[in-house]
Chain A
Amino acid sequence: MSLTRLGYASINVKDLVPAVSFYTDVVGLRLIEHDKRGRRTYLQTADNQDHHGLVLNEAGRAGLDHAGYKVNDPADLECVSKELRERGIEPKSVRAQDVSGQGEGIRFTAPSGHDILLYYHADKIGYATGMRNPDPLARVPALSVSHLDHVVLACEQPEEASRFFRELLGFYITEQVNMPDGQPVAIFLTCSNTMHDMAIVPGPNGGFHHMAFGVDSRLDVVARTDLLKQRSLPTMELGVTRHGVAGVTTVYCHDPSGNRLEFAHGAYLTAGAGDRVPPVVWRPDLHERAVFFYEGVIPGDFFSTVT
C-alpha cells in the first residue's frame, strides 16, 4: 500500500542531559521513555498518539541517525525490501522493540547516505490531552508543538536522491527551488496530503539540515521566538520569517548539540499533488524569495550548516 507519514526522527546528540532538557522544556515535547543502558531517550509531540516522534541518541556528535516512516500494510516491508535488493541495497531487519515502542521494521541506507527505517506498528500512548472527552490543549507545557512535520536531508546529488525516494517509496514533488545555474536549492517531497514529509537540499552526503515541528498558529511562531530569545537561545538571524515555498510562517534555532530545528505553521494541504497537480518549480531568479519571502536574502550559512 503506502507510506502514511513521517513517524519520527532519531537524532544524535553530544550529551543526553542538556538535550532532554531542551526538548522537554523549550520545545515542549512529552518525555516518554529513558533507556539508560542504550543512552537513548524517546519523546513525543502533543498531538500524536504513537509512542515516540523523536529519539535522542547520546553519540558524542550531532546529526541524523535515521528517519522513521510508517507504512499502512505489514506486507509493504517485504515489498520495499525486494525492490531494494534489486537496486543492490541490502535492507537490515529490525526486530520489534529494537526501537522501543515500535514493531518490526526494515532499515536501509539510501544512496544519499541517509538511514531510513520503515515500520508498521507503533505502541499507542494517546494524545497529550488523552483520548476521552479531551480538552483541546494539554495542561503542561503551556507552549508545545503539535507534530513533527518533516525532515530536511542534505546530500551531494539532490535530484538523484529525490528520484530514489519517489521511485522506491511513492513520494511526489510538491515544490522545487533551483539556483540560476539550474542546480536545486531544495526539493520538497510528500508521501501523504501534507506539503512535505521530507525535503532534500544540497550538502554533504548523509547531512541533516533540520527537522520541523508544527505549531497551531502564526502567533505560536511569534510566541516561540519570544521564548527562544528569553532563554538566550540563538535563532537564525532572521527570527520570525516566512518561506515563499509552502507559505509557512517560521523560526529556526539549534539544539544544544547544534542540530537545527524549525517551528512552523501554515503549510497547505496537497491533495493528489505530484500525481495530479504539477509541482511548483520556482523561477530561478525568485529563489531567494522562495526561501526567505520577506527578506529576499538567504543567509550564507543557511545551507552550508548541516550536522
Chain B
Amino acid sequence: MALRPHGIIRIAYVRLGLLATDIVQARSFYRDVMGLIEDPRSNAERLLLRCWHEAYPYSLVIERSVERGLLELGFEMADFGSLAAAARRLKATGASESEPGAPLPGLGASVLCEVPGGLKIRLFAAVTDMPSYLGGHMGPDWVVPRELRATVAPLSLNHVGVTVPDPARTVDFLRSELGFAISERIESDDGRRLLSALMFRMSKDVGGQEIAIFRGDEARLHHIAFTKEDPNDILVDGQYLGEAKVRIDALGPTRQSYGRTFSLYFYDPLGIRLELCSGGRITEVHPEFEPVVWTESALSKALSFHDRQVSNTFLDACL
C-alpha cells in the first residue's frame, strides 16, 4: 500500500471520575435517558458505555474516584509504529510516560501524556473485544434500535470540550506533538490572545472538532458532545429530555456558528454539560487547511447565531 494514515485516527473515549454515590445516578441517566449501551464488563465501580452506532467497546467511561473530575481523553493511533513514534517524541518533551498496559479493558500498551495546562491524553494502538455493529454486519438498516427509541440514542461520541489556563500553550502542544489542526479559533480583537480553538485529527464530511479548548482556571471538563444525524432529531430529543425533567441550557436548540453545528446543550443529574450536535465543518487533515477566525467581540454570535446571548456561566467548566 503506497499510502497509509499515520498518527491519531480517532477520538476513542472520555474518562470521568465520579464519587461512589454518583455512579448509580449516572448509570440510570446514561442508560435510560441517553440510550447508551453498557459493555458487559461495566460494573458498579466503572461504567463502560458506548453509542449504538459505534463498533468499539466504549466511548464514555465513568468510574469511582476519590474526587470528581475529568481523568483523561483516549485517542487511537493508526498502528504500533505510530504509537512508538509518539512515545519517543513525547518522552523528549518530558510530558509523557509509556505504560505496558492501560487501566482500561482491552487497550494494551499505551502512552499517557500530560498536555501543558494539565489535560491528560492517552494514546493506544489497538483495542480488543470489539463489539459488532448493534444491527450486525449483514444488513443493519442503520435505524435506531427499537429498544432505544424514545431515548436520545446518539450515533457516536463527537468531541470533548475542556478548559485550560493558557489555550495558546495547550493548542501549540496539540499541534506540534500530536498532529492536531485547528478548524476554528476565537482570539482577542487585537489578535494577540487565543481564547478558544476547535481541534481535529479526523478528515470528515462534517465535524471539525475532537477537542474544543476553552479558557479556564485549570484543566477541567467543559462538555461532552454526541453526534446526531439531523437537526430535526435534536428537536425531538429536546422533547424527550424535557419530559425526563433534564435541565436544558437557556440557549435551547440553536445554531452554533462556532463549528457550524445545530446544537442542544443540557446537563446530566450531576451537572455535567452535554451537547447533541448535527453538522459541522468539513475537515481535512492537510497542512494547508485554514481555520475560521472569530474575534472576541463576535463571541455571542459565535456561540449562538439564534440567541446572541450567552450566560455568564456558559463558558465555565462543569466537572
Contacts and interface: CB of A to CB of B under 8 A. Distances in A.
| Bound pair (A, B) | yes
B146 interface: no
B207 A244 contact: no
Contacts of B230: 217-219, 265-266
B17 interface: no
A305 interface: no
A2 B288 contact: no
Interface stretch (B2-10, B60-68, B113-121, B211-219): B2-10
Contacts of B141: 244, 247, 289, 293
Contact of B286 (A4, A166, A193, A268): A4
Interface in A42-81: 47-49, 70-72, 76, 79-80
Given A5-B284, A268-B229, 4 more contacts: A124-B290, A133-B294, A147-B282, A170-B2
B282 A218 contact: no
Given A79-B3, A265-B230, A136 B139 contact: no
Nearest to B257: A136
Contacts of B151: none
Interface in B39-87: 53, 55-56, 76, 78
B239 interface: no
B288 A170 contact: no
Contacts of B291: 131
A3 interface: yes
A262 interface: no
Contacts of B290: 49, 124, 126, 131
A133 B9 CA distance: 29
Given A47-B281, A72-B286, A4 B203 contact: yes
Given A131-B290, A281-B137, A1 B204 contact: no
Interface residues of B, number: 62
B102 to A, nearest CB: 17
Contacts of B231: 216-217, 219
Interface in A277-294: 277-283, 286, 289-290, 293
A286 B136 CA distance: 13
Interface string B279-319: 10110111111111111001001100100000000000000
Contacts of A280: 133, 137-140
Contacts of B10: 193, 271-272
B286 A169 contact: no
A282 to B, nearest CB: 5
30 contacts: A2-B4, A4-B284, A4-B286, A47-B281, A48-B282, A49-B290, A72-B286, A76-B3, A79-B3, A82-B2, A131-B291, A132-B293, A133-B295, A136-B255, A169-B2, A170-B1, A193-B10, A193-B202, A193-B204, A217-B230, A217-B278, A247-B143, A265-B229, A265-B230, A271-B156, A276-B130, A277-B133, A282-B138, A282-B139, A290-B139
A277 B286 contact: no
A131 B284 CA distance: 16
Nearest to B279: A216
A112 interface: no
A51 to B, nearest CB: 12
Given A218-B230, A282-B138, A289-B139, A80 B202 contact: no
A295 interface: no
Given A217-B278, A269-B204, A2 B6 contact: yes
Nearest to A279: B137
B108 to A, nearest CB: 13
Which of A134, A146, A168, A286 gathers the greatest number of chain B CB atoms within 10 Å?
A134
A219 B155 CA distance: 19
A121 interface: yes
Report, nearest first, the 9 A-B pairs whose CB atoms are least far apart: A247-B142, A271-B10, A192-B203, A133-B298, A170-B3, A286-B139, A83-B2, A277-B55, A193-B202
Contacts of B262: 217
B223 interface: no
A80 to B, nearest CB: 5
A5 B203 CA distance: 7
A244 B137 contact: no
Contacts of A147: 205, 282
